[in-house]
Amino acid sequence: MIHIFRFSKYESFIVTILVVFFIVVVSFFSNAVFAYPENVRHGYVNCTSCHVSPTGGGILTPYGRDLSREVLSTWGKEGEGEFLYGIIKLPDWLLMGGDARTLYLYRDNPSVQEGMWLWMQSDVEASLSFKNLWFVGTFGKNYSGSRGIISRRHYINWRPREELSFRGGRFYPAFGINTPDHIIPTKRGLGWDQGDETYNMEVGWLGESFNFYATGIFGRPDFSPSKQEKGISLLGALNLGERFKIGGSYYYGHKSNEDRHILGPFGILGFTSHFFLLSEFDWQWKDTTTGSQSGFVHYERLNYEIFQGLHLYLNHEQSYLNLNSSSSNQYSFGLGMQFFPRPHFELNLLWQKQKTPTYDDFVDFAWVLLHFYL
């Protein structure tokens, strides 16, 4: 369960306006951490330019912090992207970061019309480096499940040479596009929602034109045996030119009463430095004690950056994981806007029309994400 504050429709509207206003005002007068795979379109073919993690996301490198001002944000001053705006100078061997995210969710369907604020994340993250070793860990409040304090990610990463990476610890296995949008069918639909990081051993090749990751997945000791999924994942991707990345992923997972295979291609296609497409399609075969089923999920985001920091995008996604049951089929399309006014701030809005088996007609679904990274 996620921590929920409920408001009436009008209260929600007013709160949304106030929060958006606050973000915009603060960003004008003030002087991150997520994966943004679309930066491939700027020539960043590997995640490690900006992130410590070989698969992207999480704590930023010093270069990544500067890039958050130079490439990601509309406005900003030199040094503004630094940890805590550069107030605290950290030694070279220590990197710090953190994320606070809150989401306003709106649903309008024949059963309910409501808006609610969800507090999703408040984590700090640190990385200690020694020669070719990185020790990374997050620490924050758990807003789902057992509550309390959690560490979503903690791992040791060893890079004996620049292309080669070994990693062990808790993190998401490499599969498909590492987008921060964890509620899309290619993430949540396949069981990789927020908080679903597992304990893994990973070897990665981060070459100039080719990436490969093989991950052994050892599950989660804090889960009950019936929920413990163990297996492997493989991901290969080609960097074509300076703006295109295409690849494919395979996953095998085994639980006490279930086996599943997932296979699918993905692409990050930067047509220009302003116009790009993220696309992923995955097919899943699942064998359980009660039978077999197969189906697919896919996700597309067609994005245009109007000016630096302001994106408009079209979103399309579908989850149909059991082709023998039409009740498993749901799809949606929508229009979104993502705005990075200044380093440390992100605002993301998405309005979707959803078709679910529950209702005959399309229903409305929208969210506004506010994200602040230290």
Partner 1 sequence: MKWIKSHIAIMVFTLFIQVYATTESRTWELNLNETSGSVQFLAVGRPSFLKIRGHGEALEGALVVTQSGISGSVSFNLDSLDTGINLRNEHMKHKYLEIHKFPKAELKIIKISLPDTLWTDISTSLENVPYEGTLSLHGNQKKIDGLARIKREENDLNITSQFKIKLKDFGIETPSFKGITVSEDVDVSVSFKTPFQIKK
Binding site for partner 1 (CB under 8 A): 42-49, 61-63, 65-67, 70-71, 78, 159, 162, 206-208, 239, 242, 273
Closer residue to partner 1 in complex, CB, 44/345 = 44
Residues 149 and 141 sit within 8 Å (Cβ to Cβ): yes
Number of H helices, E strands in the chain: 2, 18
Measured CA to CA, the distance from residue 151 to residue 110 in angstroms comes to 39
Supply 201's token pair: 């051993």
Q: Supply the minimum distance, in Å, between the C-beta of residue 52 and partner 1.
A: 11
Q: Supply the minimum distance, in Å, between the C-beta of residue 161 and partner 1.
A: 9
Residues 164 and 294 sit within 8 Å (Cβ to Cβ): no
> Phi-psi bin for 79: left (phi > 0), alpha (psi -120 to 50), beta?
left
Closer residue to partner 1 in complex, CB, 152/159 = 159
3-state secondary structure of 121: strand
Q: Supply the minimum distance, in Å, between the C-beta of residue 207 and partner 1.
A: 7
Residues 333 and 360 sit within 8 Å (Cβ to Cβ): no
Closer residue to partner 1 in complex, CB, 208/222 = 208
Residues 6+ apart with CB under 8 A from 332: 315, 316, 317, 318, 352, 353, 354, 355, 365
Q: Supply the minimum distance, in Å, between the C-beta of residue 73 and partner 1.
A: 12
Supply 163's token pair: 């292309």
Measured CA to CA, the distance from residue 172 to residue 215 in angstroms comes to 10
H-helix segments, 7-133 = 9-29, 62-67
DSSP assignments along 311-341, one per residue: EEEEEEEEEE--TT-GGGEEEEEEEEEEE--
Q: Supply the minimum distance, in Å, between the C-beta of residue 47 and partner 1.
A: 8
Q: Supply the minimum distance, in Å, between the C-beta of residue 44 and partner 1.
A: 6
Q: Residue 299 forms beta bridges with which residues?
A: 280, 317
Closer residue to partner 1 in complex, CB, 48/338 = 48
Residues 317 and 299 sit within 8 Å (Cβ to Cβ): yes
Q: Supply the minimum distance, in Å, between the C-beta of residue 102 and partner 1.
A: 30
Closer residue to partner 1 in complex, CB, 178/239 = 239
- Exposed, middle or buried: residue 97 (CB in 10 Å: 0-12, 13-18, 19+)? buried
Q: Supply the minimum distance, in Å, between the C-beta of residue 48 and partner 1.
A: 4
Closer residue to partner 1 in complex, CB, 31/273 = 273
Closer residue to partner 1 in complex, CB, 43/145 = 43
Residues 42 and 273 sit within 8 Å (Cβ to Cβ): yes
Closer residue to partner 1 in complex, CB, 67/369 = 67
